[in-house]
Amino acid sequence: MQRMTPHPGRDERGAVKVMFALLVVPLLGFAAISLDIAAMWHAKQQLQSGADAAALAIAQDCARGGCGNAPSTAGTLADANLLTSDADAAVLNLTSSSVTVRTSTMQRHVFAPLLGFDEDDVVAHATAAWGAPSGGTTVLPLAFSLCEWDAQTGGGQPSGTTQYTIYQTKSSGTDCTGPSGNLVPGGFGWVDSDPGRCGATSTIGQRLSSDPGNNVPSGCGDVLRSLVDETVLLPLFDQYGGNGTNAWYRVHGYAAFTLTGYHLSGHDVGTPCGGSERCIQGYFTRYVDLDDDFDSSPSAPRLGASLVRLTD
């Protein structure tokens, strides 16, 4: 095989210059791809964060009954999340149960203009939906009667923070227990817990089995105490039947309850009642939840609690 060697005395520096001239364009192209596209990707992530934040914030406002500031909210949160330049924001679709937000910016390039690309439009979208809870897992195996909710809210949406004391069985002085004061039970009732936890999973229309007796369910004493001054979602029952271990409650919907005290067998905080009485103190409230422990539905009864979720 013939071996090629430089010709003596031949200057090949010109060939190097030619090779460099041929390679500089693709090298600049690679720089445009690696740096300019990376900058676009970074802007896209910030725009997406702004769109997500705006959609969630607007959905929360709408769930509370006020969508009027949607465009302003979208613009403020889009700008707050885009660090490199100003962002444009638009509310594309706003219905009674969802909102879609579009954020965008014009990204100027550093290297790509050498290839004829000065700037590109970077866009992100987010949709959030809201609705009343339709099912999920509560942090307490507890159910209140719809009658008690109606009595405290006047049959409307909860308002204010006035505390009420809800009594169990014959202690209840409301009209929610019947002539004997012995509805199954009166204002509230324990239901069967999920295995191995303090809490119960349910859905609207489901019958929950009763956990009869005055004692706090096993494993729930510390949980109950930790929830004082916290707001929790609890099922409301509109039908009931049976007795003792065969008692049941039909789930009508879910309401938000702020727990402030209780007097139960062996457990007391604030002593809202005493002696043989068994009671829980607190108030129903308007509440917007972002957790994933519950599902939502626009058709679920609206009892003051709403769930907000990103849907794409």
Do residues 200 and 232 touch, judged by C-beta distance below 8 A? no
Residue 185, preceding peptide bond in cis (omega within 30° of 0): yes
Beta strands (DSSP E) in the chain are 88-94, 98-108, 119-137, 142-145, 164-167, 188-190, 201-203, 207-209, 231-241, 248-264, 267-269, 279-285, 287-289, 294-297, 305-310
Give the C-alpha separation, 296 to 100, whole Å: 18
Residues 6 or more apart whose CB falls under 8 angstroms from that of 277 comprise: 167, 168, 171, 263
User: In the chain, which residues have pLDDT < 70?
Assistant: 1-33, 36, 109-119, 169-175, 177-187, 213
Dist CA 225 CA 203 (whole Å): 26
CA end-to-end span of the chain = 65
CB-CB contact of 295 with 134 (8 Å)? yes
pLDDT score recorded for residue 13: 55
- Can you say whether the dihedral through the CA atoms of 228, 233, 234, 237 is positive or negative? positive
How far CA 21 is from CA of 11, 14, 81, in Å, comes to 18, 11, 42
Express each pLDDT in 58-108 by its tens digit: 999 999 888 889 999 999 999 999 887 788 999 999 998 999 999 999 877
Q: At what angle do helices 70-81 and 37-63 cross, to 10 degrees?
A: 150
SS3 state of residue 40: helix
Q: Which two tokens stand for residue 126?
A: 């987010």
Task: Please report the pLDDT score of residue 180 as a whole number.
Answer: 47
Query: Can you give the pLDDT at residue 109?
Result: 66
Measured distance CA(248)–CA(217) in Å, rounded: 16
Q: Assign 264 to helix, strand or coil.
A: strand
Q: Which pLDDT score, from 0 to 100, does residue 185 have? A: 46
Cα distance between residue 49 and residue 33, in whole Å: 24
Q: What are the tokens at 2?
A: 């013939």
